[in-house]
Every structure is written in C-alpha cells, then in structure tokens.
Structure 1
C-alpha cells in the first residue's frame, strides 16, 4: 500500500528494525528516571538541535501530541488571553480550544488564498500570546518565512507560538523568529503517532516562570525543571523517543531535506495543473504548502477517485473541515520515496488524463 495520507503517514522503513533494536536494548521497559532514559533524552535533544537547526538556547520538551501543546500553551503562557490568526480548520480548532480555558481569547481569520495580512491585524495590547499555524494541513497552505518575520517585527514584545505539525522535520524553519514551535512526529518525522516535540525560547521560559502556573502535570514550569535533568513530569513515550533518536541519526541535515521537498512539491503542483476533472484548491502559488497538496473537485468524483486509488493500492488523504467532501490531500513527506510519487502519477495519467 502506497500511503500519501497527511498524517499518520508513511513511516520510514527502518522503523521496523528500530523496534527490534529497542526491544533488544531494553528500551521498552527502562525506568524513566534511570540513567538509560536520561542518556536517551539528552542524545535526542542534541540531535534535534543539530539536525533540525534549532537554536542552541531553545528548550525542547516531549509531549503526547500537538493537541496537548494547545493546552500547555494556554495554561502556562497566558493568564488572560491569546490571539489566534488562522485560515483553516486546525488553526481555528486551536482558537476554539483556547477559548474554553481563556474565554477572552481572540480569533482573526483570513482567506486561504491570501497571505496572512500582518499589517491589517488589530491584535489587542493585552494579548499575551500570538498563535498561528505555519502549515495548515486542512487546506494545503503555509505561512512563508517572510510573513513570519514581519509578524515578529511588528509584535516584538509579545510571545509568538507556531503550530508546525506538518512541516517540522520537513522544512528548514527559522525558529529564531518565534518563541514556541511544536509538531507531532506522525508526519514529516516519518514515525508512528503518540509523540510531539515542543521547542521554547529562553524568553518563553522566563514568561512561564513569571506566571508560575503549576496546577497540571504538563505545566510548562514543572516540565522545564524536569528537563533540566533530561527527564519528564510523567512516564513518557519512551519507544517514540527512541525511534526519534534513531531516525535523526540516519537522516541528513534539514537543509537538504527542505530542498528535496521543495523541488518535489514544485514538480507535483506542475503535474496536477494539467487535469480538468479536478484542480488545485490553493490558487495562489505564494501560499501553497510544500508538504501537503490539496486538490478539489465535485463530491462524487472525489469519492470515486479515492476508492479507485485504494483499489490500486494507493491511499489518498481525505479532505478536512469545510473541504471534507470536495477535496483530497497528498502528503509530500520525507519518508515517501520519489518512486512512489512516480507510481502515483502513473495512476492519475491512466485514469484521468
């Protein structure tokens, strides 16, 4: 089965051997306060900073999912309100979740075919945290490094948090331009779900300490205190962290991965522009995602297309949110090999050209 679903997506084939090695090395039952885990945790933090170009002074945390990060950020970095800028379902869900904990949270939506309107935003002066999704998985859009820089320059005194779930470990993100970044591993990391990574700037840590929220197992201040010794506040996903260690050791530096995905995304967009039965959902090339490609057609065609692909051993991603019925999505993640995309092209050329 060729899997182009945008998460959980295809895992690296080496994961099978990694799992055997984890069993043989005793990782599946090692104490999470013991020396073996501490060494594992320290190694992963170092590898992430080196391979993914994360600033050395940023602090890395292991959590269960990107959804958990929504909770941690609202609990630990706000006492009053956050402001959320979104153009798709996942950014909007983050906003809606924040409202449950902080009813004063604000939301600013913009059209998915337009760049984030940084100069037009009217974010309240009492906003403690600005939140947005760098790569919106629901509609195949992304926020460019230039836009992030503009946002950073306009709101220098406010913490900025970024959901990078569909781009972390795939794109060479400039983490220095925001205070908090997070992403789950079931996408560009090429690993099974159940683990997410959060990276926080020194300024973010100082902010969390100032608020001093400690009411939850995943309160950031407590998490930070534990990670000073490369431990967690809870029994972590040890096998997920081990798989992350092995994956990072075997993968090239993020700059090369980014270039490969960028080239392949351009090729895929060019390929799909030739079809008339369906079209690219995102018309504005400037905001098209490099890692998730969304295509749109009438409901019946999309449903039939996905069934036909599945019959031929190809799993396409369903649409999501308001685009659930009339779109399908294709992941452009590092674990998926070039030849698999050639097979995907052959399928579309045979049935829809």
Structure 2
C-alpha cells in the first residue's frame, strides 16, 4: 500500500532496520539518565541544528507531541494572553486549547502571537515573507506550529521565538515524538514568568535538556530513530528545493492535466498554497468514488478535514515519499 495520507504519513523504509538495531543493541533498554542515552540525545540535538540549519543560540527539546507544545506555550510563555489568527481547523483548535489554560482576558495586551505555518486541514501556509511582516508588526513572542512542514521546507528561524512539530510528517517517522525549538528571548520570558509547576514546564524541560537529559522517561526509541533518520537525510536546503519542485509539479498537474476532471485545487491563491499538503476539492460523491478507486489500486489518499471533510482529499508532499510513488499516483489520476 502506498500512502499519501498527510499524517501519520509514510515513514522512511530504513526506519524498520533502525528499530531492529535499537532492540538488538539494547538501546531501547537504556536508562534515560545513563551516559549512553545522553549521548544519543546530544547527537540528536546536534544533528537537528546541523541538518535543519537551526541557529546555534536556539535551544532544542524533545517532547511527546505538538499538542503538548500548545500546552507548554500557554502555561510557560504566556503572561497575559495569546493571540491566534488562523484560517483552518488546527489553528482554531490551538486557540481553543490555549484559552482553556490562559483565558483571553485582554487580547489587546497579548504577549504571544500563535501561528500555524502550514494548515494541514486546507492546504494553506504562511510564507516566510508574511511571517516577517508579523515579526515587524508584533513586538512580543511569536510561536509557530510547523507540524506539516518542519524538515520539509526551509525556515528563517529568526522570524519566531518558538517552533515545534511532531515527527510523523516531514521527518518520516512514527508518531509519538515532537521537536520543540525556542529562542533566547523565549527562555528569558519563561524565566520572567517563572512557571515551574508541571512536568512539562519549559524551565524544567530546559534544565534537563541543558544536560542532554529529559524531565521524564521519554520515547527512547523515537529519539533514536530521529537521530538515525537525521543522519541519512540531506541538508534542509536540498530537501526544500525538492519539496518545492514537487509542489509546483503537483499544482501544475491539477491545473493542466486534470482541468477537465471533477477536481480542482482547493486554494486559488498560489501565494498561500502549502508546499507540503496539496488539498483538492470536488463534490462529495466524486471525492468518495476517487478515494475508493485509489484504495483498490493500493493507494491511500488523505481524507478531507474539518469544514472540508467531505468535499476534499489531501495529498502529502513529504520527503519520505518517492518519485516512483508520485508517478504511480499521477498515472492513476490520469486514467481515472
């Protein structure tokens, strides 16, 4: 089965060998305070800086999920309130979740701006140019949910103070781990707020990761797999070029070769289209027929989500997906 589901999505095939290696060599049995495990954490952090071109003064921690990162931003980095401009289901969910923890008493005094860089629900994204405008207009912290794009496209890390992503998309790994990246300004804010009442308080996390330890027993297998995958993938500049070329090809395919089909790209504005999740719309009956036909050919397409659940399907454009698999899908769509 070939999967184009936009998360959890296809894992790199080498992950099976890496997992067997971790079990065979006893890595999954390492105490998380042991020197051997701390070496794995240290190397994983080094590789993240290296392969994703993360600035040396930005800190990195590994947590359980992007949803946990929503919680960390709300409880450890928000003094008054957070502001959540959004255009899709995941941005809305983040706002609702954050406001349960830190109610929006005074949005005019918001001290954290929370943005979803890549809105998986409808195939839109916030460009680096738009993010730069937010940076100019908003003087306090900026936090970015980059779940569907981190490790797939290149970021200007200086445009935000907090970036985070789960690994089950562009990292090409199983779910159960997230990468949290935060600037010196974010750490300073955490110190000023002084929130240290939870197992995942940022101050407690930072204290542990400064020693290449974790504040709780972690997903050790997931961290090891992340390290091994980072060793195999090219630098983000190379990945970015491939991702954006494939995205350009996908949009051209639907606008040119599929122009007489019942399907259209959901987002009309090319400047806001996602590079990593292609959302395609059609009427509910045609979308269901297409997905069933694809399944019979051994191809899994992503379902629609939220307001677009019944009238769209989504195609993951993640690095672990091969050109051959893309060719199989395009050939199926041509002949459908």
Q: Same fold (TM over 0.5)?
A: yes
1:208-246 C-alpha deviation (Å, 9 max, x unpaired): 011010111000011111111011110011000000000
Alignment equivalent of 2:273, drawn from 280, 288, 292: 288
The 1:105/1:255 distance shift into structure 2, 3 A limit, reads: farther
**Distance (Å, rounded) in 2 between the aligned partners of 1:333 and 1:86:** 23
Find the partner of 1:324 among 292, 309, 312. 309
1:230 matches 2:226 = no
Deviations 1:103-154 (A, max 9, x none): 2168xxxxxxxxxxxxxxxx62x21100010000000001111111111111
Contact 1:141 1:287 in 2 (8 A): yes
Counterpart CA distance in 2 for 1:104 and 1:84 is 10
Q: Give the aligned partner of residue 230 of structure 2.
A: 248
Separation of aligned partners in 2, 1:63 and 1:104: 26
CA distance in 2, matches of 1:345, 1:306: 14
The verdict on how the C-alpha distance between 1:264 and 1:105 changes in structure 2, with shifts beyond 3 A counting, is farther
Q: Could you report, residue by residue, the CA deviation over 1:329-351 in whole angstroms, capped at 9, with x for unpaired residues? A: 00000000011011001101111
CA positional deviation for 1:17: 0.6
- Deviation by residue 1:139-179 (Cα, 9 ceiling, x = unmatched): 00011111111111112x30000000000000011111100
Does residue 263 (structure 1) correspond to residue 248 (structure 2)? The answer is no
Tell me the residue number matched to 1:94: 94
- Render the CA deviation track for 1:178-233: whole Å, top value 9, x for unaligned: 00000000000000000000100001001001101011100001111111101111
2:79 is matched with 79
Task: Name the SS of the counterpart of 2:84 in structure 1.
Answer: strand
Q: Residue 261 of structure 1 aligns to a residue in which SS?
A: helix
* CA distance, structure 1, for counterparts of residue 333 and residue 181 of structure 2: 39
Between the two proteins, the alignment pairs up a number of residues equal to 333
Alignment partner of 1:27 is 2:12: no
Q: Which of the residues 115, 121, 125 maps onto 1:132?
A: 115
Contact 1:140–1:282, Cα closer than 8 Å, also in 2: yes
Spell out the pairing of 1:141-220 with structure 2 (5 A cutoff): 141-155=124-138, 157-220=139-202
Find out whether 1:61 has 2:61 as its counterpart.
yes
Q: Does 1:306 align with 2:288?
A: no
2:54 counterpart of 1:47? no
SS in 2 for 1:209: helix
Deviation at 1:28, TM superposition (A): 1.0
Q: Secondary structure at the match of 1:173?
A: coil
Moved over 2 A (4+): none
Q: Distance in 2 between matches of 1:263 and 1:256?
A: 11
Assess if the C-alpha contact under 8 Å between 1:70 and 1:94 holds in 2.
Answer: yes
Q: Any idea what SS the aligned residue of 2:199 has?
A: coil
Q: Is 1:297 paired with 2:297?
A: no
Q: TM-score of the superposition, structure 2-length normalised? A: 0.98
Q: What's the secondary structure of 1:86's corresponding residue? A: coil
